Amino acid sequence: MRRSHRRATAIALQTSLPRLPTIVACYPRHLVSPARRWIRELVSSPAKIVTVVVVATGLVWWQWPLISGQDSRTDVVLLTDGFLTSTERPVTYRIHEDGRSLRWDAEATSWCDAAEAVQKIEAEADPAAFVLSFADADGCDGEAVTKAVQAAKGHTVLVVAQPGRSGLESAAAQSGATLIDPSSFIGDQLTATAMPCQWWETCTADGTIAVRTADGALTAEGGDRVARLIVAQLP
């Protein structure tokens, strides 16, 4: 008798209380249904799975300096004048694409004060590599490049020569730095505004590409060429 009474009471409570929605029912159907359909299509297509994995891997690789905390460290410090700062974006892009953090520094404006700037940055940031490139050498002594390399205290130093400029860069190899001569890619004079295309570039009808503007500044394509040479020599 008591058992029947309890069952009747439970049935009465269930019918009198409103039905609680399930978790799935709380989601908008216009979002849930397409998602389910996309997952079914993805699972049934190995090619789509591979595509998703490749895209996810690429995103992780691109953001790895941030994910791993490397963005708080400095891999490369670049000290230069308008030669490279005029095409800062392609240079930055190419070095970041290589998985390295980059710091542009304006401490030095010529070879005359390069050594002092390198010494200060080495003490503050302790970067893996320095990239130095200056056109102006007026008033500098003949050991300006050597002193700048020595100030790096054993860190990798890349010296990018500027065709038709200071000429002090020849001392780079003797002082332990790596000399990068981009003249074969951007011409050996400021007036060389166009060069034959490389395989990765989109050529004009005559098979050339603009690497400098009329005033001698690097174009984005010219900056990308120099950046590729820099990345190839980084440790």
Domain residue ranges in the chain: 16-62, 71-233
pLDDT in tens, the chain (235 residues): 555 555 555 555 455 545 545 554 554 555 556 666 767 666 666 666 667 676 777 676 666 655 555 545 689 999 998 888 888 999 999 999 998 999 999 889 899 999 999 999 999 989 999 999 998 778 888 788 899 999 999 999 999 998 877 677 878 888 899 999 999 999 988 888 999 999 999 888 899 999 999 888 899 999 999 999 999 999 8
Contact criterion met (CB below 8 Å) for 110 and 134: yes
Element housing 203 (H / E): none
- Name the residue among 188, 171, 187 with its Cα closest to residue 137: 171
For every residue of 24-72, DSSP letters joined together read HHHS-HHHHHHHHHHHHHHHT-HHHHHHHHHHHHHHHHHTHHHHTTGGG
SS3 160: strand
**CATH number of this structure's domain 71-233, picked from the four choices 3.40.50.720, 3.30.1330.180, 1.10.275.10, 3.40.50.1110:** 3.40.50.1110
Cα–Cα–Cα angle for 96, 58, 232, nearest 5°? 40
pTM of the model: 0.67
